[in-house]
C-alpha cells in the first residue's frame, strides 16, 4: 500500500523560499552555508526534511514556484535537481547541473 505524502514543515518551507529563491538558487556555496551553518539541531532538521521531501516528492512544480519563483518544466526535472543538491550538500557531490533554463 502506497503511503500518502506528508506536508512539508513550515520551517523547511522558509529554508526553501530563502535559500533556494530565484536569486540564490545557483549560488551553491551560499546555499551550503544556509543549510549547514546553522545550529546543529536546525541543520539536522533541514537535512532530515530534505531527505523526506526526496522520498515523498511532496512538492509539485507549482508549489515549488510559489515558494521560490523558480520554474521547472516538470517534477522529474525538479527532483533530479533536488537530488543533485542533496548530494552536493550532504554527500560531497558535485554542484547540481539540472538548473532550469
Report pLDDT digits (tens) over 48-100. Answer: 999 999 999 999 999 999 999 999 999 999 999 999 999 999 999 999 986 77
Report pLDDT digits (tens) over 17-61. Answer: 999 999 888 898 888 888 887 666 788 889 999 999 999 999 999
- Give the residue extent of every domain in the chain: 10-90
Number of Cβ within 10 Å of residue 78's Cβ equals: 22
Instruction: Please determine, for residue 2, whether its predicted confidence score (pLDDT) is greater than 60.
Output: no
Q: How far is CA 37 from CA 3, 32, 42, 43, 101, in A?
A: 33, 8, 9, 7, 29
Residue 6's pLDDT band (cuts 50, 70, 90): low
More confident residue, 6 or 100: 100
Amino acid at each position: 500500500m502506497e503511503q500518502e505524502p506528508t506536508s512539508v514543515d513550515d520551517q523547511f518551507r522558509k529554508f526553501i523560499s530563502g535559500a533556494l529563491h530565484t536569486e540564490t538558487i545557483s549560488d551553491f556555496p551560499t546555499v551550503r552555508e544556509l543549510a549547514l551553518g546553522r545550529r546543529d539541531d536546525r541543520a539536522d532538521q533541514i537535512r532530515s526534511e530534505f531527505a523526506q521531501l526526496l522520498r515523498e516528492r511532496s512538492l509539485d512544480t507549482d508549489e515549488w514556484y510559489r515558494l521560490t519563483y523558480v520554474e521547472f518544466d516538470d517534477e522529474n526535472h525538479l527532483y533530479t535537481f533536488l537530488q543533485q543538491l542533496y548530494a552536493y550538500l550532504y554527500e560531497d557531490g558535485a554542484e547540481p547541473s539540472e538548473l532550469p533554463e
